[in-house]
Amino acid sequence: MDAAPTSFTELPSDPELFVPVPFVAGTDLGYGDRPEGAALSARELDKRRVTQCALSRICGVCGSGLGRPLAFVGSKLELDRMAFHFPPSHVECAEALLRAYADVAEPVLGVDAAPADWVLVTTASFEFVRANREDLDRRPTFQPNGLLSETHTR
């Protein structure tokens, strides 16, 4: 269904934000939330790729298979709820993503805070939880089964 995974340095670039677009957001195909041929965007996640990352256990940043530990990036609110929207990634990929997004001053990648306020946590496993019919936020979440480490960007 999707192209081969790419390394972080080979990721395509967002034409407005000038940051690399991770695998889970990076599609210009006629599916997900974007019309066919739309420019790649780091503003939102592609719903189908979120599910693909969850079910295939592939990295949300580079798209290749995951080992352990797993890294999650997200806001402090997501951490408080232990429910992240950005799929699990390699620790190195998550760190590279945070470095690349350090100067982005608006919420991106489906996270409800700008990257300067994100956290990076590691875990050994997670549950993929789909929204209930009555939930206001209908997006699925990734819920770590305990944390191995927690890093705040500030």
**In this complex, which beta carbon is closest to Zn ion, that of residue 32 or of residue 87?**
87
Cα–Cα distance for residue pair 92/141, rounded to 1 Å: 22
Beta bridge pairs of residue 122: 71, 149
How many residues touch Zn ion under the rule CB under 5 A: the total is 5
Q: Which of 11, 25, 42, 59 binds Zn ion (CB under 5 A)?
A: 59
Q: Residue 8: helix, strand or coil by DSSP?
A: helix
Residue 90 in the binding site for Zn ion (CB under 5 A): yes
Please count the other Cβ atoms lying within 10 Å of the Cβ belonging to residue 147: 15
Q: Which stretch binds Zn ion (CB under 5 A): 44-52, 87-95, 118-126, 136-144?
A: 87-95
Distance of closest approach, residue 92 Cβ to Zn ion, in angstroms: 7
CB of 7 to Zn ion, least distance (A): 8
Please name the residues in contact with 33: beta carbons below 8 A apart, sequence gap of 6 or more. Answer: 44, 46, 47
Interface positions with Zn ion (CB under 5 A): 59, 61-62, 90, 93
